[in-house]
Amino acid sequence: MAKTLARVLARAQCFLALALSVFVAAGPTARAAETINVGKADANSTAFLPVHVGDRLGFFKKRGIEVKIADFTGGSKMSQAMAAGSIDIGLGAGTEMALVAKGAPMLAVCDIMPPISIIGIAVPWDSPARKIDQLKGKRIGISSAGSLTDWLAKQLAAHEGWGADGVKPVAIGDTIRARLTCKRKIDRSRKDAKGRGQGVVAWDVEVTNQDDELVASYDILTLVAKRAEPAAAAG
């Protein structure tokens, strides 16, 4: 625990040195504003914890720097904010360097974390997938296009020899549309507390994204109350 804390503090000090260099290099305008905007590719990643530690411990304020921290859902969105001038420093997973090669106005400065060994692929508890080869052709949720999770999903397909379409990354933030089709109706032959008959409706659900691509399909069951029988006409 003590070693882990020491590493976090060391990285916070490393980030402080980087912030100071940006603060000084930016010239008189930045020094007058005394504010540096920091973007994080993920809100909860422990890899980006040092900036919060430095902020909470007052590392930056002691040196006259105010740090404003913004969270993004993926490195690609953070890179867009940096290219637009909204943030001064970006904390990402490294895949953003591919955008530098394509002309993005960014500079890779330092590596503050060792190789990542804590990222995995999770499946529902009742999924039949138990081995890597069972993921071929499956949809894998990622933070955003161009992010580390996007890259890892594609690298999995490449490593296993599945080809470019071996897996289908689905980004958080996609616009989705669900279509429900009634498959069957089941009479439960029961009544609720108010004496109304009950039934179950089975639905086939298809979810598509903004590109009209199928991103999910599953079945759901809904418990419904039967309509009241019409009163018999007085005769």
Bigger pLDDT: 225 vs 21: 225
Phi-psi region of 137 (alpha: psi -120 to 50; beta: other; left: phi over 0): left
* 141 burial level (CB within 10 Å; 0-12, 13-18, 19+): middle
* Residues contacting residue 133 through CB under 8 Å, at least 6 positions apart: 160
Q: Which residues pair with 40 in a beta bridge?
A: 71, 91
pLDDT attached to residue 13:
53
Mean per-residue pLDDT for 28-39?
66
Nearest-angstrom CA–CA distance, 40 and 168: 25
State percent of the chain over pLDDT 90.
4
Strands 197-208 and 214-225: antiparallel
Write out pLDDT tens, residues 174-196: 677 888 898 888 887 777 667 77
- Topology of domain 2-101, per CATH? D-Maltodextrin-Binding Protein; domain 2 (3.40.190)
- Write the DSSP string, the chain: -HHHHHHHHHHHHHHHHHHHHHHHHT-HHHHHHTEEEEEES-SS-GGGHHHHHHHHTTTTGGGT-EEEEEE-SSHHHHHHHHHTTS-SEEE--STTHHHHHTT-S-------S-----------TT-S--SGGGGTT-EEEESSTTSHHHHHHHHHHHHTT--TTSSEEEETT---EEEEEEEEEEEEEEE-TTS-EEEEEEEEEEEE-TT--EEEEEEEEEEEEPPPPPPPPP-
pLDDT attached to residue 191:
73
pLDDT attached to residue 169:
86
Domain-wise residue ranges, the chain:
2-101, 132-171, 177-225
User: Which range (26-35, 41-50, 110-119) has the least confidence?
Assistant: 26-35
Phi, psi dihedral angles at 2 (to 5 degrees): -65, -40
pLDDT attached to residue 49:
77
pLDDT attached to residue 162:
92
Tokens 């500079």 belong to 107
